A and B are shown apart, each in its own frame.
Chain A
Amino acid sequence: MIQFNNVAKTFRRARVLDGITLNIGLGERVALIGSNGAGKTTLIRCLLGEYTFDGTVAINGLDPRSNRTVVLGQIGFVPQLPPPLKMPVGQLIEFSAALCGTDPLRIHAIAKRLGLDLESILARQFVRLSGGMKQKLLIAIALGRDAKVLVMDEPAANLDPEARKIFFDLLAERLEDATMIISSHRLDEVSALVNRVIEMDMGKVVLDDKVADAISLTATLTCRIVLSRFEPAFAKALDGWKFTSHDENLIWEGNIAGPDRLRFLGIISRYTALVSELSLAEAKT
């Protein structure tokens, strides 16, 4: 599906990619991790045909640079930083849909599922949306077409827990017919989404490992937390996760998305001193 063959990229004298060779097959969900400057973004830009480089990159045997429209027609891309576009949301959707040959209503439908009411913001400039709204719209544009490859740079970073749950559901719907490359600084942010981890450092692949594909993207976990004493900061941290409390805010209950469990535990870990009991159980199907 995707082949990187001895890909090298140098900016002035800095070698940012140093002979990357990778094969990524259909249906693989790859976490591309590494610290800042590891070469993740550069590798993605080579894949999108945006950079010139030594070596070859091919998607289904086609070079993304010389076959731009064909290759990029199969790729849905979500950047880490939303571009500061001044155009209205409606026009961005029309433009993307027209180029990708998809129905704008598909983008509308996915945005709606993510909790983004497009009708009320169609005339608003993209740059004036909140970070979360921008992210949802870019995800909707990437998923609102028949992309065979999804390339996402920290896609869930600005989403609230509810939108993340829906985002995981949307990805689960594409498991059979799409390859996903999800870039992140931290493995715990994306570990539950992927079945392969590629770690980069100084422009090289330092780890390429298959991981257990045990966590279902659509799984839901029931969570119960008992506190020894209540602190308002704890309630604030759980804001957005839609938990309910009783017994004078000492018992908290709610559901979290399976792939979000590490992120959730990371948040709870800040209040370890308050937590006297915590249980996570997979909801029975």
Chain B
Amino acid sequence: MSASPSPAVLTGKSGLLTAASDLFWRRPGLLLVLMLAPPLLWLGVIYIGSLIALLLQSFFSIDEFSGLIVYEFTLSTYKQLLLAANFDIILRTVVMASLVTITSAILAFPIAYYAARYAQGKWKALFYLGVMLPLWSSYLVKIYAWKLILAKEGILTWAFEKLHLSWLLDGVLSLPVIGGNSLSVSYIGTFIVFVYIWLPYMILPTQAALERVPGNLIEAAGDLGATPSQTFRTVILPLALPGIIAGSIFTFSLTLGDYIIPQIVGSSRLFIGQAVYTQQGTAGNVPLAAAFSVVPILIMALYLWAAKKKGAFDAL
């Protein structure tokens, strides 16, 4: 300790790091730019660049004789989407995505409602993990599990037999369009697997929205003479709706783009994802594949725009 009192203001430290630190303090904008540059370069250049490259290809066409891509601007590839065979694929996928979304919403609601309203302490953690574990477990393993379940010699046929309900299963399978040789090669099978895989994505946002419904609001509705079903329709459901819409973004988008599930469990009729896959792979028609993949982008853009108007993003 020297005789002089320690200075009130510290003398500047030297060194490159300190200089850099001082510079960032004086010019916070510079630090911001440095922080944002790597992620923006990665996502903005690699990812958005790839997307644009893809979109551009959809405006090219393929020469029918040589099979080579003609690099000239044309809308003829988009016109091909309207051909009956291709339009059927789009329609089929959208119908499936809608059905899967509605069913997931109905199945998810009681789970989300119970977890948000009644589960406490240990049970709450159990419900949370009970949704998170299936959500994060391997996608292919889950599909594989359903291949085991839905197989003709599998557990579901066995269960129907034990319950003496084989006639019911056979009856359902003999229905036109949705039926098939066994559940694992029918639309019903595809539908069940879609619902199973995307259900957790619906539960979590619905639960988040329900958590935010104040309990006294429900009590107030009861005090004012509403029956439980009136309370549900006029208080709980409108407040949960943004969460359900947020969940539906996932279920709808994921079903639109999936090509693995219908390939493994389902009939041979294609969905958009499979059409993209076969067009760019075996058929070698990249422009048509690109045009096909624009369809879900457009549908999702519309969907997101509508969801934003409903305030769904606050519930994510």
Partners in one complex: no
Contacts from A to B (Cβ < 8 Å): none
